[in-house]
Structure 1
Amino acid sequence: MTATASFSPDVIVIGGGLHGCSAALHLSMRGLRVLVLEKDHVARHASGVNAGGVRQLGRHVAEVPLSVASMALWHRIRDLVDDDCGFESHGQIKVAETEAELETLHARVAELNALGFTHEEMVGRDELRSLVPAIADHCIGALVSRGDGAAIPFRTTFAFRRKAIALGARFQEGGAVTRLARKGGLWSVETADGGRYEAPVVVNAAGAWADRIAAQVGEPVPLEPVAPMLMITARVAPFIKPVVGATGRTLSFKQFPNGTVLIGGGLLGRAVRDENRAELDFSQVSVNARTVWDLFPCMRGATIVRSWAGIEARMPDQIPVIGPSGTEPDLYHSFGFSAHGFQLGPIVGRITADLITDGATDLPIAPFRIGRFAEAATRNAA
């Protein structure tokens, strides 16, 4: 199977998760012909099964400028993809249970303020209870980002896909990329189902499999496949609107309009990458349940109806790889979002399009260069 004469792509995007679909959309908006190659189906892993947090709160400082820019896109997401993606902005809150945790949050605000960012603010015990009446009595304050919220991951990814297709992008699903090679100014991409495609430019947005693409062009990276777990309850009466996390524990807690409650935060199962599946670790699921028991007494009678995990790519420094290849021209990376890439999807697609069409972007992406791992290895060996 080859790209036909009637559709010769300018760019091939490897990976049909949110970041691949976002890159396809932004490139299509600029008039480029885009082909997305997805080994399974769009939103099969992390992009379809994550917690849907749309947060600036608690970001690595290198990610903050991107997160702020992406939030502006989220607040007009319907204009971008013709769908509100289930996005609701009731804020995100990180609760402090001890004085030591409260001091940690104060230090965080001071750090961000020194960098010129004011979207995170401290609230005391009384305002915390006005925002989250159901929070346990022992919680003494919180960090709040009022413009944050949550969306529906599967719906969001497919909204980006639909809009990209409406603008001319094409998607080929069901065949993993097996070979990537460049010759005569063109990339040749082969897939397990016998496909062969050519384009001048390639974007590596292959998620937990992106290191295998990078290794083919001499850019090995220490990517770790991980399996963040989630669980959801039966419906309970509405009692909370913001998304709540904790300072000293792992938690992402939110209630949907239908009354069900989603519980996650990044505790891990086991990713079985070569078998394309994830296994739950029920000892860790119980840790998440215990956190909810402690922080939300009203949930102690709730019934967990389902638990699951997706496969995600985690980098050692917990920030993604974004930007051009360091070994080959016309190759760009967008992967390794370390279980917190959902909110960044809209802006990273735009950044990728900037790099391909303009050769630069107006956002600071130097911390995300792929070469940082080789540089660190060289320093450690010296």
Structure 2
Amino acid sequence: MSETGTASGPSSSPSSGPGTAGFRPDVIVIGGGLHGCSAALHLSMRGVRVLVLEKDHVARHASGVNAGGVRQLGRHVAEVPLSVASMELWHRIGELVDDDCGFESHGQIKVAETEEELDGLQARVDELRALGFGHEETIGRDELRALVPAIADHCVGALVSRRDGAAIPFRTTFAFRRKAIALGARFQEGGAVTRLSRRGGLWTVETAEGGRFEAPVVVNCAGAWADRIAAQVGEPVPLEVIAPMLMITARVPPFIKPVVGAAGRTLSFKQFPNGTVLIGGGLLGRAERDENRTELDFSQVSVNARTVWDLFPIMRGATVVRSWAGIEARMPDQIPVIGPSGTEPDLFHAFGFSAHGFQLGPIVGRITADLITGGSTDLPIAPFRIGRFAA
């Protein structure tokens, strides 16, 4: 890139990896979640000097506490091309970040409890095939039981994406961070961005702790706080702050390998190799983003527990040992904002993943690097433009 900036800040500000004093970044990434770390990695792979600013610590919020689903299954049709491309990166994730991220590919399954639900799943398969995608297929009762022997007898079939799976979120995000640092990226943690301004071809980013950083390009990966960054450049968005809940059980004997959801209910269900079972699916607690905390809604936790009771009789004696919720951003149309600003040059957005952004992390970083270093990307991102909310 033709221009460089300067970075400076108080020596007392927490940082990780090499220090930022004297570092002149080409790009500042706001937000140290998976998408911010992925953008930093892909840019660093192309020789771009990157500084990541994180208000807390890397993977503090949604990127570190989500269910870890790596799924193409059930994606919004606009996301499907990105999800398919990202899955190719997941299946060689060790080559990308020098860590397998705990990724296991045993497939993901969406169970139908009625023939009507199964018909709806088949319609989904037909829709994807018409668009040229064949990764989803329906299966009947017998094959469902072969894949998930513990499923309840009343289930009639399922939708399957066989290359899907799951990974460990915290480990994954830190793998991207470590590899980015190894390639020259710098991270400054413990300082929330308070002001973003542009003058003379340089962005100035200021933090609550008095840090002041400059670079020609900025990437907004600020998650549930990204709307505040966008608003400063005249791009207000109707971002909703949500708190998806999860719970985990005590260890039970191994009985399932695929990740299981349900066509007619909210569920994400998987068992770890150590026997514990993770139960989620997007039911929400309460998020207080200005206080950096969440509160569980136990009435909703019980809804997920009831779903598991109905679909997996083997789990009726299991003990839930912990529940929690992360802080995430949801957009009204349930798909993220990805791409260049509509009001300012050299500003890019990647946020609002609406509780299903983990699998997209590797490809969103690559797309961001494509846009910054080449001006375009080979993947269709028009549906994700921030300007769709302008009206």
TM over 0.5, shorter chain: yes
Q: Deviation per CA, 1:125-171, whole angstroms, max 9, x where unpaired?
A: 00000000000000000000000000000000000000000000000
Q: CA deviation at 1:99?
A: 1.2
Q: Deviation per CA, 1:240-283, whole angstroms, max 9, x where unpaired?
A: 00000000000000000000000000000001111111110000
SS of match in other structure, 1:332: strand
Q: Tell me the equivalent position of 1:266.
A: 282
Q: CA deviation at 1:6?
A: 3.6
User: Using the alignment, how far apart are the partners of 2:305 and 2:270 within structure 1?
Assistant: 13
SS of match in other structure, 1:249: coil
User: Using the alignment, how far apart are the partners of 1:15 and 1:67 within structure 2?
Assistant: 22
Contact 2:254/2:271 (8 A) holds in 1? yes
Q: C-alpha root-mean-square deviation of aligned residues, in Å?
A: 1.1
Which among 46, 50, 70 is matched to residue 54 of structure 1?
70
User: Using the alignment, how far apart are the partners of 2:69 and 2:304 within structure 1?
Assistant: 17
Q: Flag the 1:172–1:106 CA change in 2: closer, same or farther, 3 A.
A: same
Q: CA deviation at 1:198?
A: 0.1
User: Using the alignment, how far apart are the partners of 1:58 and 1:202 within structure 2?
Assistant: 32
Q: Flag the 1:5–1:257 CA change in 2: closer, same or farther, 3 A.
A: closer
| 1:56-205 mapped onto 2 (5 Å cutoff) | 56-205=72-221
| 1:234-313 mapped onto 2 (5 Å cutoff) | 234-313=250-329
Q: Which piece of structure 1 moves more, 268-277 or 298-307?
A: 268-277
Q: CA deviation at 1:307?
A: 0.0
Contact 2:65/2:326 (8 A) holds in 1? yes
SS of match in other structure, 2:334: coil
Q: CA deviation at 1:300?
A: 0.1
Contact 2:50/2:184 (8 A) holds in 1? yes
Q: Deviation per CA, 1:56-115, whole angstroms, max 9, x where unpaired?
A: 000000000000000000000000000000000000000000111011101000000000
User: Using the alignment, how far apart are the partners of 1:207 and 1:54 within structure 2?
Assistant: 19
Q: How many residues align?
A: 373
Q: Deviation per CA, 1:282-320, whole angstroms, max 9, x where unpaired?
A: 000000000000000000000000000000000000000
Contact 2:20/2:186 (8 A) holds in 1? no
SS of match in other structure, 1:371: helix
Which among 45, 54, 57 is matched to residue 41 of structure 1?
57
Contact 2:36/2:365 (8 A) holds in 1? yes
Q: CA deviation at 1:328?
A: 0.1
User: Using the alignment, how far apart are the partners of 1:129 and 1:191 within structure 2?
Assistant: 54
Greater than 4 Å deviation, 4+ residue runs: none
Q: CA deviation at 1:5?
A: 7.1
Q: Tell me the equivalent position of 2:9.
A: none
Q: Tell me the equivalent position of 1:210.
A: 226
User: Using the alignment, how far apart are the partners of 1:268 and 1:6 within structure 2?
Assistant: 43
User: Using the alignment, how far apart are the partners of 2:60 and 2:290 within structure 1?
Assistant: 15
User: Using the alignment, how far apart are the partners of 1:102 and 1:23 within structure 2?
Assistant: 39
Contact 2:270/2:278 (8 A) holds in 1? yes
User: Using the alignment, how far apart are the partners of 1:36 and 1:138 within structure 2?
Assistant: 50
SS of match in other structure, 1:267: coil
User: Using the alignment, how far apart are the partners of 1:225 and 1:184 within structure 2?
Assistant: 34
SS of match in other structure, 1:36: strand
User: Using the alignment, how far apart are the partners of 1:310 and 1:173 within structure 2?
Assistant: 19
User: Using the alignment, how far apart are the partners of 1:109 and 1:271 within structure 2?
Assistant: 35
Which among 328, 344, 351 is matched to residue 367 of structure 2?
351
SS of match in other structure, 2:241: strand
User: Using the alignment, how far apart are the partners of 2:248 and 2:102 within structure 1?
Assistant: 17
Contact 2:248/2:279 (8 A) holds in 1? yes
Aligned residues with identical type, % of pairs: 90
User: Using the alignment, how far apart are the partners of 1:112 and 1:31 within structure 2?
Assistant: 37
User: Using the alignment, how far apart are the partners of 2:374 and 2:79 within structure 1?
Assistant: 22
Q: CA deviation at 1:11?
A: 0.2
User: Using the alignment, how far apart are the partners of 2:153 and 2:147 within structure 1?
Assistant: 14
Q: Deviation per CA, 1:318-358, whole angstroms, max 9, x where unpaired?
A: 00000000000000000000000000000000000000000
SS of match in other structure, 2:219: strand
User: Using the alignment, how far apart are the partners of 2:20 and 2:369 within structure 1?
Assistant: 24
User: Using the alignment, how far apart are the partners of 1:365 and 1:329 within structure 2?
Assistant: 18
User: Using the alignment, how far apart are the partners of 1:262 and 1:287 within structure 2?
Assistant: 15
User: Using the alignment, how far apart are the partners of 1:125 and 1:62 within structure 2?
Assistant: 30
Contact 2:20/2:188 (8 A) holds in 1? no
User: Using the alignment, how far apart are the partners of 1:231 and 1:280 within structure 2?
Assistant: 10
Contact 2:244/2:327 (8 A) holds in 1? yes
User: Using the alignment, how far apart are the partners of 2:214 and 2:23 within structure 1?
Assistant: 11
Q: Which piece of structure 1 moves more, 136-145 or 272-281?
A: 272-281
Q: CA deviation at 1:4?
A: 6.2
